[in-house]
Amino acid sequence: MTQRVLVTGGQGFIGRALVSQLVVLGRVEVLALTRQDPANLVAGAHYLPGGDLSPQTQWQPVLAGVHAIVHTAARAHVLHDRAADPLAEFRRVNVAGTLRLAEQAAQMGVRRFVFVSSIGVNGVQSGPGKAFSEADQPEPHNAYALSKWEAEQGLLRIADETGMELVIIRPPLVYGCNAPGNFASLMRAVQRGWPLPLGAVHNRRSFVTLDNLVDFIVTCLEHPAAANETFMVSDGEDLSTPDLIRRMARAMNRPARLLPVPKSVLMAAANILGKGDIAHRLCGNLQVDISKSCTLLGWIPPISVDEGLRRAVGGPRSCGTRLRAD
């Protein structure tokens, strides 16, 4: 009997790519849960309307016969958040909503629950020459990261009480075609040839291309040793922000215009403009150690940074690029 995998956030940046790859592999029946009427459907997947990720949602109707869940849906970073209490709203969706899904999944006999968390659980910056690992003491730095950490703790409790296998994945910045957020802003700046005051930045950051993250999620769905483990994931090559911009520009066949503005001046100006958080991400270190992922699961990132950037900047034609079936 064909096993069923349910992907929440099936039309999101990560969820849609995962649905596409699972269909290509052809080893499972793919159920994609969406909050809205789906557009740009992935042929071969079954789309299900889903309620809000909330403490009141009844999940049983979509969980019948489901073997595993990949939970990518979440309330993510919200610019100009209008919630009266942003932390309470993050907790309502990312904590209470996630735990409601997991509790009912365990009751319905779901065997494995793969939770896409965030490197923000570990902290906002890793120390110079150091990399975050699964063994580090978590230091969530904002409401979103805190909600992910609290969800992890609740999921661990549910897994311990019910025997449902849990896999936690903490990715750093995920980039790819149609990536949201800061990566998209940086890509537009390079494409338009804007001078960027980042030439004097000497940092190291880990990134993960969407295709590598999807490949790792599939590995975590299938590998017996992934059960009840937490993993870091990245492309396996850390870059400085200027290096990222240069390689992005090369993928676009554009010049990289980097101005050597001293970091202290850059940070002071960013703080005055209310952009301190963005400047910290561009200038600070954030490295992750993926040795556990590689050793325990035998996983090697299949896509290089340069190929990942080529796909990311390639426009709509490259968005459909997926890894091939085994």
Residue with the larger pLDDT of the pair 39 and 321 = 39
Q: Does residue 298 form part of some domain?
A: yes
225 pLDDT above the threshold of 70: yes
Going by pLDDT thresholds of 50, 70 and 90, the confidence category of residue 18 is very high
Q: Does residue 192 form part of some domain?
A: no
Closest CA to 142 of 87, 99, 95: 87
Contacting residues for 157 by C-beta, under 8 A, at least 6 apart: none
Going by pLDDT thresholds of 50, 70 and 90, the confidence category of residue 40 is confident
Do residues 104 and 60 lie in contact, with contact meaning Cβ atoms separated by under 8 Å? Answer: yes
Q: In this predicted structure, what is the pLDDT of residue 317? A: 57
| pLDDT digit string, tens, across residues 280-297 | 888 999 999 999 999 999
- Could you give the strand order of the β-sheet that contains 112-116, starting from the edge strand earlier in sequence? 46-49, 29-34, 4-8, 66-71, 112-116, 165-170, 229-232
Q: Does residue 318 form part of some domain?
A: no
Going by pLDDT thresholds of 50, 70 and 90, the confidence category of residue 180 is confident
Q: Does residue 264 form part of some domain?
A: no
Count of domains observed in the chain: 1
319 pLDDT above the threshold of 70: no
97 pLDDT above the threshold of 60: yes
Q: In this predicted structure, what is the pLDDT of residue 165? A: 98
Q: In this predicted structure, what is the pLDDT of residue 53? A: 87
Q: Does residue 314 form part of some domain?
A: no
Q: Does residue 189 form part of some domain?
A: no
Task: Report DSSP letters for 212-259, one per residue.
Answer: HHHHHHHHHHH-GGGTTEEEE---S--B-HHHHHHHHHHHHT----B-
Residue tagged active-site, from 144, 149, 207, 216: 144
Mean pLDDT of the region 161-165: 98
Q: Which residue has the tokens 């100009």?
A: 80
Sign of CA dihedral 17, 216, 25, 152: negative
| pLDDT digit string, tens, across residues 67-85 | 999 999 999 865 556 677 8
Q: Does residue 260 form part of some domain?
A: no
Q: Does residue 98 form part of some domain?
A: yes
Q: How many CB atoms lie within 10 A of CB 176?
A: 25
Of the ranges 151-155, 189-193, 313-317, which one carries the lowest mean pLDDT score?
A: 313-317
| Residue 144 falls in the annotated catalytic set | yes
What Cα–Cα distance (Å) separates residue 66 from each residue in 110, 152, 278? 6, 21, 40
| pLDDT digit string, tens, across residues 198-208 | 999 999 999 99
Mean pLDDT of the region 268-289: 89
Q: In this predicted structure, what is the pLDDT of residue 276? A: 82
CATH of the domain at 212: 3.40.50.720
Domain holding 111, by residue range, is: 4-179+206-237+287-303
